Amino acid sequence: MRPLDWAVMVLTLTAIISYGLWRARGAATTDSYLRAGKTMPWYAMALSIMATQASAITFISTTGQGYVDGMRFVQFYFGLPLAMIVVCLTAVPIFHRANVYTAYEYLEKRFDAKTRTLVSIIFLIQRGLAVGLALAAPAIVLTVLLGWPDQITTLVMGVIVITYTVLGGVKAITWTDFQQMLIMMAGLGTALIMAINLLPEGIGLTGALTVAGAAGKLNPVTTDFSWTDRYNIWSGLFGGMFLALSYFGCDQSQVQRYLTGSSITQSRLSLLFNAVAKIPMQFLILLTGTVVFAFFTFIQPPLLFHPGDMAKLKADPAYPALQQKFDNAFRQRHESAAKMVHGEPTREEFKSAQRDIDDTRKQAAKITGGNDTNYIFLHFVTNYLPPGIVGLVIAAILGAAMSVISGEVNSLATVSVIDIYKRLLRPVAEDGHYLWVSRAFTAFWGVYAVVTAQFAKNLGSLVEAVNLLGSFFYGGILGVFALAMYFPKVGANGAFIGVLAGEAAIFALHFTGAASFLWYNVAGCIVVILTGNLVSRLTARTP
């Protein structure tokens, strides 16, 4: 990066973090640290919720997903609006009226302590691993920009986030997210506009869409049904809805956001805003990736986007032949695309060249053992955007990373303190003691994120890795909350055994390969509900 980019990035991030800490001054109680004293307005919660989802993974990986696989990933979010309505009608008023710090406190009120503890531990495992993935994404940014080893970049980012999160509490996190989301949208919009403007003369957005369509990238809706296809309208509507229900209704990282609301209405408005805005935002992010694909149709990209993998490939004896094949395929694709944009019938030539390029990249990836999906957008930003704009986009990416990491670490600390430490180890103590323990657990989970991030760099598309990980657990968690809210005759033993059965079913689906991961959420939830009802009927005492 150039000096202007460094200046823009540092000043932007410093201003955002300073603002958040200033808004959080006076957080001297456990309630103010973990729930912001229930004083937050809907618009702050709304953008905070969106910022937590729109992490650095969204910028880095979803744009890469659009480049590689096209628009069909947007179907993942088709079930979200309906899920938000259900959460607003059920979970929001129940949690607010119960006056809980965590969603899992409610499970003890409804069932018993062992069910609350089991689900809390499942959350800690799942979200603890996911926060490592969220930290790995910005580490990719710094590795590409600075040339630092992955271990150093994750450590530096981790220390910054831990310090900020320990000091700030949820109020600082929410107001910082609010600012970061505005910067993120500015960075995304700027990158998309610049990508369109950098297209060769006479191409424009229409030409870019023509090229992307010929390559099969403009595929936002796939109507064919398949249990094993990850993204189609059916898995998005049903599997995506169940995932969103669990994420927004049962996952503390999201529940904690709307538990800070000053009223039920304010919390509902924050979720309804996301119901309306989430799909258009994801569409624009994926569109940015497809426009970048069109850009690299006319401007030759590297064979591999990861600089380290490219260096490794160049040392392999097969490299000269692969590079020659790639160069020839690019020239054919470039020529056929230019003719196609101007109305000539060269679509089949274009598709043939694209297949050759894809095949060559796969051969190269086998040699290096890496996956460069997460490096595509970064290569475009750092090599083609002008000074200052690069700094803004990188600030948006790093700000997004800080947003999701700080929020997840804070929610992990909240569950650790409220559902484990206070419930099982130290039920009676002064408020100042729990505040100190909250900060200590925040630091612990930050360190945990740094450690798990070391293993995330070769997981392919990080956004898919996060969603896959969540799907291992969300179905079971959603099922037990459904039992709690909608099945009054189900008892504690039924709920506990139901969760275990649901998780067993999910892992059985995964290891047999019987269905794609979005269906894990549906299957897990249904198994929990059926098992919970069956066990409760069998163990019910007769009068």
419, pLDDT greater than 60: yes
Give the pLDDT score at 65. 84
Q: Which pLDDT does position 95 carry in this prediction?
A: 92
Q: Which residues contact 175 (CB under 8 A, 6 or more apart)?
A: 19, 20, 23, 24, 44
The percentage of residues in the chain with a pLDDT greater than 70, rounded to a whole number, is: 92
Kindly state whether residue 157 falls inside one of the protein's structural domains: yes
Report the pLDDT averaged over residues 400-416.
Answer: 86
Q: Please say whether the dihedral angle defined by the alpha carbons of residues 134, 140, 146 and 148, taken in this order, is positive or negative.
A: positive
CA distances from 509 to 7, 226, 522 (A): 50, 15, 11
Stretch among 38-52, 199-213, 233-247 having the lowest mean pLDDT: 233-247
> 284 and 245, same structural domain?
yes
Which DSSP string corresponds to 435-501? HHHHHHHHHHHHHHHHHHHTT-TTSSSHHHHHHHHHHHHHHHHHHHHHHHHH-TT--HHHHHHHHHH
Q: Does residue 211 share a domain with residue 108?
A: yes
Position 377 in a domain: no
Q: How many CB atoms lie within 10 A of CB 143?
A: 23
Distance CA 122, CA 302 (A): 42
Q: What is the pLDDT averaged over residues 375-382?
A: 87
For the chain, the farthest-separated pair of C-alpha atoms sits apart, in whole angstroms, at: 83
Q: What pLDDT is attached to residue 227?
A: 64
Predicted confidence (pLDDT) at residue 203 exceeds the cutoff of 80: yes
Residue 378 falls inside a structural domain: no
Q: Quick one: pLDDT at residue 261?
A: 92
Look at residue 105 in the predicted model and tell me its pLDDT.
93
211 and 310 in a single domain? The answer is no
* Same domain for 455 and 362: no
User: Per the domain annotation, does 113 fall within a domain?
Assistant: yes
The predicted model gives 305-330 an average pLDDT of 90
Token duo for residue 505: 């079913």
> Which of residues 371, 399, 414 is at a domain's end?
371
Domain boundary among 371, 391, 411: 371
Q: pLDDT tens digits, residue range 152-175? A: 878 877 887 787 778 778 888 888
Q: Across the chain, what does the average pLDDT equal?
A: 85
How many structural domains does the chain have?
2
Looking at the structure, do residues 449 and 341 belong to the same domain, yes or no? no
pLDDT range class, residue 220, cuts 50, 70, 90: confident
The pLDDT value given to residue 26: 64
pLDDT of residue 168: 76
The radius of gyration of the chain from alpha carbons, rounded to an integer in Å, stands at 24
Question: For the segment 259-313, what is each residue's pLDDT rounded down to a tens digit?
Answer: 999 899 999 999 999 999 888 888 898 899 999 999 999 999 999 988 888 888 9
Read off the pLDDT of each residue in 377-383 and give the average, rounded to a whole number: 87
Within a domain: 121: yes
Pair 73, 193 in one domain: yes
pTM of whole model > 0.85? no
Tell whether 365 and 407 lie within a shared domain. no
Q: Within 13 Å of residue 186, how many CA atoms lie on the same side as its CB?
A: 16
What is the C-alpha to C-alpha distance for residues 474 and 133, in angstroms, rounded to an integer? 17
Residue 267: the pLDDT is 94
Do 228 and 353 belong together in one domain? no
Q: How confident is the model at residue 542 (pLDDT cuts 50, 70, 90)?
A: very low
If asked whether residues 17 and 96 sit together in one domain, one would say yes
Task: Looking at the structure, tell me whether residues 402 and 507 fall in a common domain.
Answer: yes
**Per-residue H/E/C for 119-161:** HHHHHHHHHHHHHHHHHHHHHHHHHHHHCCCHHHHHHHHHHHH
Partners of 40 in the β-ladder: 261
Q: How would you label 125-138 residue by residue, b for 16+ Cβ within 10 Å and e otherwise?
A: ebbbbbbbbbbbbb
Confidence (pLDDT) at 24: 66
Decide if pLDDT at 144 tops 80.
Answer: no
pLDDT for 373 beyond 60: yes
Same domain (yes/no): 105, 84: yes
Average pLDDT rounded to a whole number, residues 477-484: 91
Q: Which of 84-98, 177-191, 205-219, 458-472 has the lowest mean pLDDT?
A: 458-472
Lowest mean pLDDT among 69-73, 191-195, 528-532: 69-73
Q: Which pLDDT does position 463 carry in this prediction?
A: 53
Lowest mean pLDDT among 64-78, 215-229, 458-472: 458-472
Q: What is the CATH number of the domain that holds 483?
A: 1.20.1730.10
Please report whether residue 209 resides in a domain.
yes
- Over residues 198-202, the mean pLDDT reads 85
Domain final residue pick, 339, 371, 403? 371
| Residue 362 structural domain | 306-371
Give a yes or no: residue 316 inside a domain: yes
The per-residue pLDDT for 398 is 79
d(CA 145, CA 129): 26
**Residue 376 lies inside a defined structural domain of this protein:** no
Statement to judge: residues 85 and 159 lie in one domain: yes
Asked whether the predicted pLDDT for residue 393 surpasses 90, the reply is no
Mean pLDDT of 12-23: 79
> CA end-to-end span of the chain, whole Å?
76
